[in-house]
Amino acid sequence: FISLLSAARLQPSLTHERLGELANFMASVASGYPKDSQSVASEIAAFLDESAPVMQPVLRKQLVRSISVLRSKGAIELTVTVPLFFRMLSIRDKALRVSLHSQIIADIKSLNQKHKNEQLNRKLQTFLFQMIQENDELLVKRALHLLSELFRRRIWNDERTVNVISLACFHDSASIFLIAARFLLGSNQNLDSEYQAESGSESDGEEETESGKGKKNKGLKFDSSGIEGKAMWEAFHKTSKKSTRKKKRVERAIAKAQKKSAFHSDSNGVELEDNPFAAIMMLHDPQ
């Protein structure tokens, strides 16, 4: 393994099929060799950190999978994998970025599954908070999307997270300001689909085939609670006889939309924040 890895470091842009297969095998048997697996994990992580952008997609995917398996078996710490995966979010590979985004959230969720490890959480939060203060607009967006989703899933739903995200409201970039503002005005809204669409359209030259509702529903308006304006408009103009009847139809449409948006879990059964203004209520100085 060390010989193959040394050769790959000299020419990281080649396929190196044998290295990827061997890395996956060693990760699968890591529980039987705890000391050796730690060394393997650190070597793979260092190689990814050095050469991930120029690697072949297949090899890169295999090594990322190996690191994820080794992480699940305790061979490498989250304080190593989260910064590594976060830096790899800038690679021009949409599928990889979406996968890494989900992996970071899953790892942090697993960390807090039984009880919250405050010391480790604080280290990871500090890293992501520092990314929000970076000059690189892309890194700031990645960090905001991660923090917003972690809050929405009630993993990092504390005041510190909210107030750090709120600092992005003063950013010079309009797109970054909008991410932070929309989070504060509706912290229970799912931004993951927007992240996935955005991750494929940020000057990476990849083909983007969006099939989201944004294009189909062009012209529809939504209020801060996520209520569809079209439904209320149709309810209001469905009858023209009595204003009281119109009023009741609108009230029923609003109540129906609010009931639909007041969810406790998403389609995957993930527990979510059900108060759309939970974040804004945690601000230290909302003015």
3-state secondary structure 8-68: HHHCCCCCCHHHHHHHHHHHHCHHHCHHHHHHHHHHHHHHHHHHHHHCCHHHHHHHHHHHH
Q: Compute the distance between CA of residue 24 and CA of residue 61 in angstroms, rounded to an integer.
A: 10
Summarised one tens digit per residue, pLDDT across range 208-218 is: 433 444 444 44
- DSSP reduced 3-state for 280: helix
More confident position, 99 or 266 = 99
Q: Which two tokens stand for residue 82?
A: 């989260």
Phi, psi dihedrals of residue 265, rounded to the nearest 5°? -150, 155
Is the confidence at residue 252, as pLDDT, over 50? Answer: yes
Whether residue 234 has pLDDT greater than 80: no
Please give the angle made by the CA atoms of 177, 182 and 183, to the nearest 5 degrees.
100
Q: State the Cα–Cα distance between residues 185 and 257, nearest whole angstrom.
A: 17
Tens digit of each residue's pLDDT (9 = 90 or more) over 84-100: 999 999 999 999 999 99
CB 180 within 8 A of CB 163: no
Q: How far apart are the first and last CA of the chain?
A: 58
pLDDT at residue 201 tops 90:
no
Q: In angstroms, rounded to a whole number, what is the distance separating the alpha carbons of residues 2 and 169?
A: 47
Least confident of 161-165, 204-208, 252-256, 278-282: 204-208
> How many residues are there in the chain?
287
For tokens 């590594």, what's the residue? 84
DSSP summary character for residue 222: B
For the chain, percent of residues with pLDDT exceeding 70: 70
pLDDT at 79: 96
Residue 199 is predicted with a pLDDT of: 57
List, in order, residues 6 or more apart from 168 with CB less than 8 Å away: 132, 140, 144, 176, 177, 179, 180
* Count of CA atoms in the C-beta half-sphere (13 A) of 185: 12
Kindly state the DSSP code that residue 281 receives in the 8-state scheme: G
pLDDT at 32 over 80: yes
H-helix segments, the chain: 2-10, 17-28, 34-51, 57-72, 78-87, 94-111, 118-132, 137-152, 159-166, 174-185, 192-199, 213-216, 229-237, 243-261
pLDDT of residue 282: 87
Determine the Cα–Cα distance for residues 259 and 263; give it in Å rounded to an integer: 8
Each residue's pLDDT tens digit, 166-175: 999 999 999 9
Averaged pLDDT, 164-184: 91
Considering just the CA atoms, what is the radius of gyration of the chain in Å?
23
Q: What is the mean pLDDT of the chain?
A: 81
Lowest-confidence region among 81-90, 162-171, 189-198: 189-198
User: Measured between alpha carbons, how far is 188 from 281 in angstroms, rounded to an integer?
Assistant: 13
- Copy the structure tokens of residue 157: 């739903």
Q: Which of 102-106, 150-154, 282-286 has the highest mean pLDDT?
A: 102-106
